[in-house]
């Protein structure tokens, strides 16, 4: 694949305005503009009070993807964009305002809980004072540890979307997905998503390998990072059909809720719902 990009747009109306369904449909139409979404399923979430419009699509081979913003930005306070290039490793974030765009580059996603499925000897040292592992069901453990990481969120799905997808799914429910995938607030995560950086750093190698150092014999069955009860990152053995074997892989399910970019958070406090 080439030129496969995943775009997550968040459009915020001007104070006192709300985005109605008909306006949201107009925005989607301008984003797709006859060229469609390139190999990424299109999903739309419109807040019940019209305060937010979230769009997932793929801008690859669609030169008019941003035309709606260039033509109608006066209706809105701003638009934030999380972006993943399938040739890279991590998401970047961009602010689109009235005076143009500002690329803020890479950023962090947050988690506030870690869960591990496996025996107690599999558990890593959290490296955080006064935070300890606690039993959580049969063979499962959890720890209330807060941290952050950088990774990529690839939503490419050639079978579902194709090179010129015009199908739009509104307010998609979060549901169980086929083996190998991870449910997200938009469409399932099916591609390996390595964590590039992580804090606390002591957890990084454990998530990456599922074991300590070279001790592969004591690998955990699954490692999950959660944000307010939602699984945002998962690592476990996945079946590789191309090689007919299992490999330790990661899946990312990050969204706007666990985005920790400080400029984005400040913008949401100022202009987002309830501001």
Tell me the CA distances in angstroms from 216 to 208, 209, 211, one per residue in order: 12, 8, 6
Among residues 37, 110, 84, 51, the alpha carbon closest in space to that of 256 is found at 110
Strand partners, 224: 115, 234
Q: Are residues 87 and 54 in the same domain?
A: yes
The model's pLDDT over 92-105, given as tens digits with 9 standing for 90+, comes to 999 999 988 899 99
Q: Are residues 102 and 115 in the same domain?
A: no
Q: Say if 163 falls within a structural domain.
A: no
Q: Are residues 13 and 90 in the same domain?
A: yes
Q: Say if 271 falls within a structural domain.
A: no
Calpha distance 58→108 (Å, rounded): 22
Q: Are residues 27 and 140 in the same domain?
A: no
Among residues 170, 167, 168, 189, the alpha carbon closest in space to that of 178 is found at 189
Q: Say if 130 falls within a structural domain.
A: yes
Please give the share of the chain, as a percent, with pLDDT higher than 70. Answer: 96
Tell me the CA distances in angstroms from 47 to 21, 50, 53, 115, 170, one per residue in order: 10, 5, 7, 31, 11
The model's pLDDT over 58-68, given as tens digits with 9 standing for 90+, comes to 999 999 999 99
Q: Are residues 50 and 137 in the same domain?
A: no
Q: Are residues 70 and 115 in the same domain?
A: no
Calpha distance 45→17 (Å, rounded): 17
Q: Are residues 223 and 237 in the same domain?
A: yes
**Residue 103, domain extent:** 5-107
Q: Are residues 90 and 38 in the same domain?
A: yes
Q: Are residues 200 and 138 in the same domain?
A: yes
Q: Are 60 and 38 in contact (CB under 8 A)?
A: yes
Which residue reads 């490999």 in tokens? 247
Which residues 6+ apart lie within 8 Å of 51 measured at CB? Answer: 12, 13, 18, 19, 272, 273
Q: Are residues 26 and 125 in the same domain?
A: no
Q: Say if 92 falls within a structural domain.
A: yes
Q: Are residues 144 and 228 in the same domain?
A: yes
Q: Say if 273 falls within a structural domain.
A: no
Q: Say if 185 falls within a structural domain.
A: no
The model's pLDDT over 172-184, given as tens digits with 9 standing for 90+, comes to 988 778 889 999 9
Structural domains counted in the chain: 2
Instruction: Say if residue 27's pLDDT is above 90.
Output: yes
Calpha distance 210→118 (Å, rounded): 10
Q: Are residues 54 and 145 in the same domain?
A: no
Domain CATH code at residue 30: 3.30.70
Q: Say if 95 falls within a structural domain.
A: yes
Q: Say if 253 falls within a structural domain.
A: yes
The model's pLDDT over 183-208, given as tens digits with 9 standing for 90+, comes to 999 999 999 999 999 999 989 999 99
């Amino acid at each position: 694949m080439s030129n496969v990009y995943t775009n997550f747009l968040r459009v915020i109306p001007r104070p006192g305005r709300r985005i109605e369904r008909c306006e949201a449909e107009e925005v989607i139409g301008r984003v797709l503009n006859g060229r469609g979404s390139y190999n990424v399923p299109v999903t739309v979430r419109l807040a019940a009070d019209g305060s937010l419009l979230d769009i997932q699509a793929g801008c690859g081979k669609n030169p008019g993807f941003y035309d709606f913003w260039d033509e109608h930005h006066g209706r809105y306070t701003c638009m934030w964009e999380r972006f993943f290039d399938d040739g890279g490793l991590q998401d970047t974030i961009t602010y689109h305002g009235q005076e143009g765009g500002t690329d803020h580059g890479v950023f962090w996603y947050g988690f506030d809980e870690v869960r591990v499925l496996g025996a107690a000897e599999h558990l890593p040292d959290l490296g955080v004072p006064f935070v300890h592992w606690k039993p959580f069901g049969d063979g499962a453990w959890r720890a209330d540890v807060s941290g952050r990481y950088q990774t990529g969120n690839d939503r490419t799905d050639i079978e579902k979307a194709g090179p010129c997808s015009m199908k739009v799914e509104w307010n998609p429910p979060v549901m169980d997905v086929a083996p190998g995938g991870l449910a997200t607030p938009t469409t399932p995560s099916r591609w390996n998503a390595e964590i590039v950086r992580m804090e606390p750093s002591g957890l990084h190698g454990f998530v990456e390998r599922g074991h300590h150092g070279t001790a592969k014999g004591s690998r955990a069955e699954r490692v999950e990072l959660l944000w307010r009860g939602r699984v945002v990152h998962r690592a476990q053995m996945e079946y590789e059909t191309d090689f007919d074997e299992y490999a330790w892989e990661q899946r990312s399910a990050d969204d706007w809720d666990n985005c920790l970019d400080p400029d984005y958070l400040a913008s949401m406090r100022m202009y987002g719902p309830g501001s």
